[in-house]
């Protein structure tokens, strides 16, 4: 696929540079056959080809749509299982701002090559204020989950759990990974690397937060929040907030 991507770039004068992004340039990711090709073509104002016809037989795709700063994106899954996420970007905008970038082609020697790294994706330990806000977000939003559960509003309750609460949980798990390894770590989009980076006890605590039984998932989230907060407080010196009365209230509502 890379050979064909570069062949297309060399065939069309409008394409002035090419960069590769994502897991394929991430030194911490073990390569496998499921990885996408995240490619950026940097173009001038000349007429462009129909990119959907140039790389193989498409199984399914999403059509390009205009984005900010004169960019467009083609998402293509091919019959052979390969996936190409192709961004078309004006060369005048410069190299895409992404630490996981490898410059594959630069016809005009316009860009300075960069060494791919995870520095733009790793978790750094928070301030006390951000630490407090993150755990407050979990405990505050759980009331909406519990009340939605009691009202039979399962779509609302589940969405509250899987959006604001899950986002805060991923922040906290990133801090756990960084603290445990004594260096900033990247747990990946939606925590996909947690299995490799978290201590085993936290994996076991995380798994039941995905239970179909919403009441059990809420209890698991509360336990996970207590354990991660305690771990970070002990290792990094954060001050904890006592949410025991809040937990007791939620458990009472769940058991009514």
Output the domain CATH number for residue 67: 3.30.460.10
Residue 114 lies in a domain: no
Residues 136 and 241 reside in one and the same domain: yes
What pLDDT score was predicted for residue 72?
86
φ/ψ of residue 83, rounded to 5: -125, 135
What pLDDT score was predicted for residue 67?
58
Residue 123 lies in a domain: no
What pLDDT score was predicted for residue 197?
95
Residue 198 lies in a domain: yes
Rounded CA separation 228/193 (Å): 17
- Tell me the pTM: 0.81
pLDDT at 235 over 80: yes
Question: What CATH number is given to the structural domain containing 164?
Answer: 1.20.120.330
3-state secondary structure string across the chain: CHHHHHHHHHHCCCEEEEEEEHHHHCCCCCCCCCCCEEEEEEECCCCCCCHHHCCCCEEEEECCCEECCCEEEEEEEECCCCEEEEEEEEHHHCCCCCCCEEEEEECCCCCCCCCCCCCCCCECCCCHHHHHHHHHHHHHHHHHHHHHHHHCCHHHHHHHHHHHHHHHHHHHHHHHHHHHHCCCECCCHHHCCHHHHCCHHHHHHHHHHHCCCHHHHHHHHHHHHHHHHHHHHHHHCCCCCCCHHHHHHHHHHHCC
27 pLDDT tier (thresholds 50, 70, 90): confident
What pLDDT score was predicted for residue 64?
65
Q: 125 and 185 in contact (C-beta within 8 Å)? A: no
Residue 116 lies in a domain: no
What pLDDT score was predicted for residue 117?
86
The string of pLDDT tens digits covering residues 40-94 is: 999 997 778 888 899 999 999 997 666 555 678 999 999 999 999 999 999 999 9
Residues 221 and 148 reside in one and the same domain: yes
Residue 90 lies in a domain: yes
* Segments forming the whole domain that contains residue 151: 128-254
Domain total in the chain: 2
What pLDDT score was predicted for residue 50?
87
Neighbouring CB atoms inside 10 A of 151's CB total 10
Q: Could you tell me what percent of the chain has a pLDDT over 90?
A: 80
The string of pLDDT tens digits covering residues 146-191 is: 999 999 999 999 999 999 999 999 999 999 999 999 999 999 999 9
What pLDDT score was predicted for residue 19?
97
Residues 79 and 19 reside in one and the same domain: yes
Residues 155 and 250 reside in one and the same domain: yes
What pLDDT score was predicted for residue 218?
97
Angle at 165 between CA 152 and CA 123, to 5 degrees: 165
The string of pLDDT tens digits covering residues 193-228 is: 999 999 999 999 999 999 999 999 999 999 999 999
Of 55, 74, 106, the one marking the end of a domain is: 106
What pLDDT score was predicted for residue 63?
78
């Amino acid at each position: 696929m890379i050979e064909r991507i570069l062949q297309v770039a060399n065939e069309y004068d409008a394409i002035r540079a090419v960069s590769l992004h994502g897991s394929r340039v991430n030194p911490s990711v073990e390569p496998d056959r499921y990885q996408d090709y995240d490619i950026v073509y940097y173009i001038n104002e000349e007429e462009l080809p129909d990119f959907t016809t140039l790389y193989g037989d498409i199984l399914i795709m999403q059509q390009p749509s205009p984005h900010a700063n004169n960019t467009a994106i083609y998402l293509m899954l091919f019959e052979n299982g390969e996936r190409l996420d192709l961004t078309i970007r004006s060369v005048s905008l410069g190299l895409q701002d992404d630490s996981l970038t490898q410059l594959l082609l630069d016809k005009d020697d316009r860009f300075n090559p960069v060494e791919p790294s995870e520095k733009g994706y790793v978790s750094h330990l928070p301030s006390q204020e951000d630490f407090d806000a993150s755990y407050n977000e979990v405990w505050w939003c759980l009331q909406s989950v519990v009340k939605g559960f009691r009202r039979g509003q399962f779509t609302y309750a589940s969405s509250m759990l899987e959006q604001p609460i899950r986002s805060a949980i991923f922040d906290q798990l990133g801090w756990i990974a960084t603290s445990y390894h004594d260096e900033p770590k990247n747990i990946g989009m939606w925590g996909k690397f947690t299995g490799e980076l978290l201590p085993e006890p936290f994996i076991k605590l995380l798994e039941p937060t995905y239970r179909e039984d919403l009441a059990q998932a809420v209890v698991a989230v509360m336990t996970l929040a207590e354990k991660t907060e305690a771990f970070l407080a002990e290792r990094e010196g954060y001050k904890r907030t006592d949410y025991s009365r809040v937990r007791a209230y939620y458990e009472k509502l769940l058991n009514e």
